[in-house]
Structure 1
């Protein structure tokens, strides 16, 4: 890691931040005051980190996750609390062997999948998840069969499950109360929230390069995520380069499942995370940890990786 110091127009009091060699660090605001945020980030449309643990008091940070007393132990979900909301339907992304599928299932299904994959003493595949194959049909459970999904054979689990972009307003009120909208979102701009989502999954997690149509406050509830960002023009150039490389014609505005699988996913990941040319010229990088927040301006391209072990959890608010 290289310690670098950077000054971006509008950020008058930058701090030292560690990043990979050649990548530009995202500056950290000196405080989380609304006027500071508005004048040094929101109005000039510049990415910034909020001071460490600015959002550490969000109820979800304390209530949704458990941390073992053992030093370095991975974060886990607080099942005793979250299982009370098991009937809630949530969107899930399931990837396996370069295949990808989005489904809607109960929150209890997600919790059982996570528990299964975290278990160190499992004698047989989990009846729901280990046998899951994207595209397989659900079959009725019988007295002689505990397999929820049909599959040709039971193999060692390779699928990964990610509760991704679940709207906060679709959650039960108690969970919504755990994620109150920050004052920065309510008071820095026009005061209206375009949308908001939660993201829960076991590291490593990955979100491909994309851009948002509204400013975005991204907050880490648990675990650690690394974010790479590009100015609008630079990100558009990276996207165009990837489309040319794979012979694609995807829209930069309307992104679908093509960015989550196949040639586009691999080419995007290589260009953003594995290309020394990109790393040395146009990419910004930052790390967001538990209780931390990142402001991503409208139109800035970004790709996000959950790193380490154990659970990662994030929430974001898109606002005007």
Structure 2
């Protein structure tokens, strides 16, 4: 089976050029970070979020006066309650946006120690919210970048919004189409595996689940509920990220293969800040963690 030998920093495009992106990355299905800060002035970034001052580091918060008038809008929320013994307790349901806004207010009022990742407080994540489900005035805050409309055929399959309080987490999975992933607020760390490498890591996790009778027949490689709780969540996290100390933003760690005799491959590691965007080709496996403090938010387009 494939084992990850190390994670390499992902290249960034040297200039703002759709033509260069198309020829060197989109057509060749190579992942790349677009020029750093290219979308710093993106409409949703300035309207949905506002800077917050903290004693230690600046971070982002939600622009409540702008969003609260849309509180009756129903959005998909993921509720995660950490459970050290059995993995996460996880539920996904459509709830009013006002519920999410109230929760973020309450979390931001807590002392930093009470929002630590090891503290088992319930967490809400506005995850994979389809743009089409928002009111038209909010949809207007998400114009489609030219890198999506001009690099390929211009076909857009879906646009999704992700907003949460760090730490947020999406386990290892692959998407059915090319993906442009834009960071709107806060920071996220992304780990990428080529199709064959990721398939080997995912298969190894499935085998471990089957041997422990914890898999219950699930086989989907698309982000799903079974990945977000229990044994599958824990095994996927360990396979990609290693120990919790290896997930910190300050460095790009190396994960060594346990056995020199096993086939090993490199992965890629990228930290995205507000205004950055990442191209994830079809079939490339990826896992994403929100890092730092405050709100972390993204939008992604599936296109071709």
Aligned mate of 1:158, from 121, 125, 134: 121
Retained in 2: the 8 A contact 1:228–1:284?
yes
User: How much does 1:69 deviate?
Assistant: 5.0
1:299 to 278, 283, 290: 283
State yes or no: 1:191 paired with 2:159: no
Partner residue of 2:239 out of 271, 274, 284: 271
- In the alignment, the residues of structure 2 paired with residue 99 and residue 180 of structure 1 have an alpha-carbon distance, to the nearest angstrom, of 35
Unaligned runs of 5+ in 2: 112-118, 244-254, 259-263
- Segments of structure 1 that go 5 or more residues without pairing to the other structure are 1-20, 122-155
How far apart are 1:278 and its partner, in Å? 5.8
**RMSD (CA atoms):** 1.9
The alignment's TM-score, normalised by the length of structure 2, stands at: 0.83
Whether the aligned pair in 2 keeps the contact of 1:223 and 1:313 (CA below 8 Å) is yes
Number of aligned residue pairs = 266
Report how far residue 84 of structure 1 moved: 1.4
Query: Is the 1:272–1:278 contact (alpha carbons within 8 Å) kept by the matching residues of 2?
Result: no
SS in 1 for 2:266: coil
Task: Assess if the C-alpha contact under 8 Å between 1:239 and 1:252 holds in 2.
Answer: no
CA distance in 1, matches of 2:146, 2:104: 33
List aligned pairs for 1:1-320, cutoff 5 A.
22-68=6-52, 72-96=57-81, 97=83, 98-120=88-110, 158-247=121-210, 248=215, 249-253=217-221, 255-274=223-242, 276-277=255-256, 281-320=265-304
How many Å separate the matches in 1 of 2:48 and 2:202? Answer: 36
> In the superposition, relative to structure 1, how do residues 81 and 255 fare at CA in structure 2: closer, same or farther (>3 Å)?
closer
Change (3 A) 1:284 1:254: closer
Mapped to 1, the partners of 2:239 and 2:70 lie a distance apart of 40
What's the TM-score once normalised by structure 1's chain length? 0.79
Say whether the 8 Å CA contact 1:23–1:281 is kept in structure 2: no
User: Which segment is superposed worse, 216-225 or 250-259?
Assistant: 250-259
Relative contact order (alpha carbons < 8 A, sep ≥ 6): 1 or 2 greater? 2
Q: Which has the larger radius of gyration?
A: 1
